[in-house]
């Protein structure tokens, strides 16, 4: 075999075949040469670049000055590049990370060899990750607030104390500019402010601030129509009431307080930022408004029964029973939201770890520190929040049916599971070409949960065996996921698919007890059924039909 040597042919092949932009320019930006990848990524041919200023072709406005400064000052050989936005010949915007490979002088002219890497997709992933983290943080704060409000209002029977406690908690936790609560008077013509936050709230309460029920304000409109009203820009809302004590309001949400098919008042949430209310924000606030309306009504009734005990004894019994039922519902809600908040949020943790391991060279110390913080935060926030949201969303939205290869899906997920614990001795037997008609996103949730369960409950087996296939049961095709793991007692089989139902302790096997409830809901949405068989320490089999 001929000995390998570095020669001009080698460098020419690298130059021509490299997937990144490699070009030679003078220090003022005039292009001397550019490789094929540079032509392909920029959209310009060699004749359109050579002899012309590369920055004036690729950059816009003041960015050309940044490009010129980069050529003059950026050190050669620096491992991390300098990012600049590029516009291709077709007008597409890309983010390029430029690095100086070498500097030299030719015929008295300072020249630069530089390389450009297209990092557009990487930048988009980072933006999406940061957006997801912000959304999760915001949603966790909102759900935590909803829990606190639920706990507090479920034990307060004094109406004044109840509504003041509610608006203060919401303003404090959500960080809104102003929160106010109005109740409709006996005439039904006016809504009186009964609780308001900050100095503006105190002044408005001092003068018994009221608004007519009707079209003159968002509060009046919301009560009259028994509907929510959202103004992402209050200056453009026809019925927004411009309160001089709240000059910084830029966006507002008003929600009616509905109790027993009638509107008893409204909650107003105001922000100093435009478009500060997303659909998810409004959904969380709506839940609190619904709970608050019920509790306010019951608190009012409780006060009335205290005042008229002799005449309304029977009514006291009925309303107290209703109040007890509402309290139990609120306690269940508070428990479900707050349960296991400190459980690990494995999805974020896993992706963050993958970024640290696979893209460490692309991240500086600050970026790595941010990812470690994400990991720490995800472990504290808890997987249950995501599971609860996922479970609640499964009942909404339209099914998008198409042909789905469950075998390919299961194989992909199995490879991912094995990669998390390569030292485990596990055998996956997946029957090929199991194709069904269904929603691919939802069916992936089914396969992921069933495979994850099998992987988890075979952890203590020296040789785990997990099988996915199809069989005929009572003349109808059914799919199954079988393992040789911990199994379960069939006496408790009916509990398997209930939310928060666990047949094993959390110390023995981690989890939130909501995965199989999610699986069942997906199967039912597809018009199917799911059941399970198992024996303690002899494994389990889950069957489903679509």
426-430 and 464-473 beta bridge pairing: parallel
Phi and psi torsions of 214, nearest 5°: 150, -145
> Which residues are within 8 A (CB) of 374 and not within 5 positions of it... i.e. 6 or more apart?
133, 348, 349, 352
186 and 234 in a single domain? The answer is yes
Beta bridge partners of 545: 529
Q: What is the DSSP letter of 509?
A: S
149 and 206 in a single domain? The answer is yes
Kind and range of the H or E run holding 102: strand 93-106
**Residue, of 376 and 296, whose pLDDT is higher:** 296
287 and 170 in a single domain? The answer is yes
**Residue, of 378 and 121, whose pLDDT is higher:** 121
In a domain, 3, yes or no: no
111 and 173 in a single domain? The answer is no
- pLDDT tens-digit map of 456-468: 889 889 999 999 9
Contact 281, 188 (CB under 8 A): no
Q: What is the average per-residue pLDDT within 13-18? A: 85
Give CA separation, 308 vs 15, 156, 297, 315, 418, in Å.
Answer: 92, 20, 16, 10, 69
Kind and range of the H or E run holding 430: strand 426-430
Q: For residue 91, count CB atoms less than 10 angstroms from its CB and return exposed for 0-12, middle for 13-18, buried for 19 or more.
A: exposed
How does 263-279 read in b/e, with b if 16+ C-beta sit within 10 Å?
bbbbbbbbbeeeebbee
pTM over 0.85: no
291 and 417 in a single domain? The answer is no
Angle subtended at Cα 316 by Cα 314 and Cα 320, rounded to the nearest 5 degrees: 125
Mean pLDDT of the residues in the chain: 82
89 and 213 in a single domain? The answer is no
pLDDT of residue 473: 92
Locate the DSSP E strands across 220-316. Answer: 229-231, 251-259, 262-271
Q: What is the average per-residue pLDDT within 53-61? A: 87
511 and 412 in a single domain? The answer is yes
Last residue of a domain, one of 118, 145, 165: 118
In a domain, 2, yes or no: no
Contact 539, 487 (CB under 8 A): yes
pLDDT of residue 284: 80
Report how far residue 16's alpha carbon sits from residue 217's, in angstroms, rounded to the nearest whole number.
Answer: 68
Domain at 24, CATH number: 3.30.450.20
**Residue, of 272 and 144, whose pLDDT is higher:** 272
pLDDT at residue 496 is higher than 90? no
Closest-CA residue to 94 (of 114, 132, 122) = 122
Report how far residue 181's alpha carbon sits from residue 159's, in angstroms, rounded to the nearest whole number.
Answer: 12
Report how far residue 391's alpha carbon sits from residue 449's, in angstroms, rounded to the nearest whole number.
Answer: 12
Kind and range of the H or E run holding 276: none
pLDDT at residue 338 is higher than 50? no
Report how far residue 544's alpha carbon sits from residue 546's, in angstroms, rounded to the nearest whole number.
Answer: 7
pLDDT of residue 340: 47
Contact 36, 49 (CB under 8 A): no
377 and 452 in a single domain? The answer is no
pLDDT at residue 203 is higher than 90? yes
Side by side, which strands form the sheet with 476-483?
A: 426-430, 464-473, 476-483, 539-545, 529-535
pLDDT at residue 308 is higher than 80? no
376 and 447 in a single domain? The answer is no
494 and 523 in a single domain? The answer is yes
508: left (phi over 0), alpha (psi -120 to 50) or beta: alpha
> Which residues are within 8 A (CB) of 290 and not within 5 positions of it... i.e. 6 or more apart?
258
Tally the domains of the chain.
Answer: 4
In a domain, 168, yes or no: yes
Q: What is the average per-residue pLDDT within 477-503? A: 80
478 and 498 in a single domain? The answer is yes
Give CA separation, 508 vs 100, 111, 383, 462, 503, in Å.
Answer: 55, 65, 17, 17, 10
Report how far residue 394's alpha carbon sits from residue 262's, in angstroms, rounded to the nearest whole number.
Answer: 30
Sign of torsion over alpha carbons 506, 509, 510, 513: negative
pLDDT of residue 335: 46
Categorize the per-residue pLDDT at 4 as very low, low, confident or very high, splitting at 50, 70 and 90: very low
% of the chain exceeding 90 in pLDDT: 39
Lowest mean pLDDT among 331-340, 437-446, 518-527: 331-340
Report how far residue 298's alpha carbon sits from residue 314's, in angstroms, rounded to the nearest whole number.
Answer: 15
% of the chain exceeding 70 in pLDDT: 80
107: left (phi over 0), alpha (psi -120 to 50) or beta: left
Last residue of a domain, one of 118, 150, 169: 118
Closest-CA residue to 126 (of 319, 329, 370, 298) = 370
Domain at 200, CATH number: 3.30.450.40
In a domain, 537, yes or no: yes
Domain residues for the domain of 248 are: 127-338
Contact 78, 102 (CB under 8 A): no
In a domain, 1, yes or no: no
pLDDT of residue 150: 60
Kind and range of the H or E run holding 449: helix 440-457
Contact 281, 141 (CB under 8 A): no
Categorize the per-residue pLDDT at 407 as very low, low, confident or very high, splitting at 50, 70 and 90: very high
pLDDT at residue 80 is higher than 50? yes
475 and 539 in a single domain? The answer is yes
- pLDDT tens-digit map of 99-110: 999 998 888 899
Report how far residue 84's alpha carbon sits from residue 98's, in angstroms, rounded to the nearest whole number.
Answer: 8
């Amino acid at each position: 075999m001929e000995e390998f040597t570095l020669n001009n042919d080698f460098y020419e092949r690298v130059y021509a075949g490299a997937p990144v932009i490699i070009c030679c320019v003078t220090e003022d930006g005039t292009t001397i040469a550019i490789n094929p990848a540079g032509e392909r990524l920029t959209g310009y041919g060699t004749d359109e670049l050579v002899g012309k200023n590369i920055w004036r072709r690729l950059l816009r406005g003041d960015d050309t000055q940044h490009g010129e400064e980069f050529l003059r000052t950026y050190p050669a050989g620096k491992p991390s590049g300098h990012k600049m936005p590029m516009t291709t010949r077709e007008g597409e915007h890309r983010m390029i990370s430029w690095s100086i490979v070498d500097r030299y002088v030719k015929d008295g002219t300072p020249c630069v060899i530089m390389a450009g890497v297209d990092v557009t997709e990487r930048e988009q992933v980072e933006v999406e990750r940061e957006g997801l983290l912000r959304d999760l943080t915001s949603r966790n704060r909102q759900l935590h607030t909803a829990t606190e409000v639920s706990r507090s209002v479920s034990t307060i029977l004094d109406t004044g104390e109840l509504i003041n406690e509610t608006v203060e908690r919401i303003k404090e936790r959500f960080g809104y500019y102003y929160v106010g609560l109005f109740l409709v008077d006996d005439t039904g013509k006016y809504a009186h402010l009964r609780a308001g936050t900050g100095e503006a709230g105190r002044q408005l309460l001092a003068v018994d601030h009221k608004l007519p029920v009707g079209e003159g304000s968002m509060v009046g409109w919301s009560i009259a129509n028994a509907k929510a009203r959202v103004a992402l820009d209050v200056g453009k809302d026809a019925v927004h009431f411009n309160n001089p004590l709240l000059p910084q309001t830029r966006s507002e949400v008003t929600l009616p307080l509905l109790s027993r098919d009638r509107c008893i008042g409204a909650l107003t949430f105001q922000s100093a930022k435009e478009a500060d209310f997303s659909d998810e924000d409004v959904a969380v606030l709506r839940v609190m408004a619904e709970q608050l309306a019920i509790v306010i009504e019951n608190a009012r009734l409780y006060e009335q029964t205290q005042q008229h005990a002799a005449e309304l004894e029977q009514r006291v019994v009925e309303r107290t029973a209703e109040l007890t039922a509402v309290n139990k519902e609120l306690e269940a809600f508070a428990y479900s939201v707050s349960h296991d908040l400190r459980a690990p949020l494995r999805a974020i943790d896993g992706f963050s770890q993958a970024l640290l391991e696979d893209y460490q060279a692309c991240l500086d110390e600050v970026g790595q520190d941010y990812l470690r913080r994400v990991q720490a935060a995800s472990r504290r926030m808890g997987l249950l929040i995501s599971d609860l949201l996922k479970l609640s969303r499964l009942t909404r939205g339209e099914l998008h049916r198409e042909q789905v290869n469950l075998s390919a899906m299961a194989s992909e997920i199995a490879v991912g599971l094995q990669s998390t614990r390569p030292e485990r001795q596990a055998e996956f037997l997946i029957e090929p070409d199991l194709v069904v008609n269904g929603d691919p996103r939802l069916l992936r949730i089914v396969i992921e949960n069933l495979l994850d369960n099998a992987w988890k409950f075979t952890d203590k087996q020296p040789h785990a065996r997990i099988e996915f296939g199809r069989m005929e049961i009572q003349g109808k095709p059914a799919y199954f996921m079988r393992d040789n793991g911990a199994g379960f007692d069939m006496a408790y089989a009916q509990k398997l698919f209930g939310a928060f139902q666990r047949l094993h302790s959390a110390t023995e096997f981690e989890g939130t007890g909501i995965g199989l409830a999610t699986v069942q809901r997906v199967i039912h949405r597809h018009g199917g059924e799911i059941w399970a068989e198992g024996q303690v320490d002899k494994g389990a089999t889950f069957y489903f039909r679509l």
